[in-house]
Amino acid sequence: STRKDMEGLRNSMYNSWVKDIQEKGYLDWLVYGECRADNAYGGNPGTGELMAIEANKQDGENKNVDRDWDWYLGQVSKCNNIICNIDRILAADNTMTQKEHDQWLAEAYCWRSWNLFQMSQLWGDIPLVNTIPPAITADNIEEVYGEYFPARAPIADVYAQIISDLEFATKHAPEVDSANKFLFTKAFAHGMLARVYAEKTARNWSKVAEHCAAVEAMGYKLVDD
């Protein structure tokens, strides 16, 4: 209910992924792509979950899928705690500045977009969770059930939201800070947009070039080799 609360949510969003992103946000995502592309294979009977993914026979009982699905949507939920409350807190607490509001919202948009993009690459159509569901009771279960168990949205709708959120972030996210590479900056937003526009769902090569040029203008370059 206060600016201090919101700052805590913003910092918590950054801290929440440090422990698990190596496995759930990177290594699993990499291995899934490699085994489905026939670049890697399950080497022993203990990799049944990966062998099912390799054979395109994954389901909701696959423990790898289950843990990653929950992790990604858990990160989306942390972003939504900011996105769904920050306007109200700006209006209620005059110690929050408009610049803080815009920056913290942009950072939440960046991280939510990254998670939705990763999920869409793994599973295609995914739920777009943009609300914080109210407490569920016997009286309102039919009304709020869809918020607790949302249907998948078409991937085109997912990309449209990602693009809209990241465009806001290109204007309001923090500037690049060479002393803190963990910030979701304007360069991060431009880099994500370049990746999104390279996918066939939203393919636009001129947009890819535009956002790559924006990243380069902020001091980044490709490695020499």
Place of tokens 């190596």: 22
Q: What is the pLDDT of residues 33-46, one digit of tens each?
A: 888 888 887 766 67
CA atoms of 211 and 222, how far apart (whole Å): 14
Tell me if residue 1 falls in helix, strand or coil: coil
pLDDT of residue 92 exceeding 70, the answer is yes
pLDDT of residue 88 exceeding 90, the answer is yes
Q: What is the pLDDT of residues 114-157, one digit of tens each?
A: 999 999 999 999 999 999 999 999 999 999 999 889 999 999 99
Q: What is the pLDDT of residues 197-225, one digit of tens each?
A: 999 999 999 999 999 999 999 999 988 98
CA atoms of 121 and 116, how far apart (whole Å): 9
Average pLDDT in the chain: 93
Token pair recorded at residue 63:
């423990």
Token pair recorded at residue 183:
């910030």
Q: What is the pLDDT of residues 22-81, one digit of tens each?
A: 988 898 888 888 888 888 877 666 778 888 888 888 888 899 889 999 999 999 999 999
Rounded to 5 degrees, what angle do the CA atoms 68, 69, 71 make? 60
Place of tokens 């929950």: 70
Q: What stretches of the chain adopt beta strand conformation (E)?
A: 126-127, 152-153
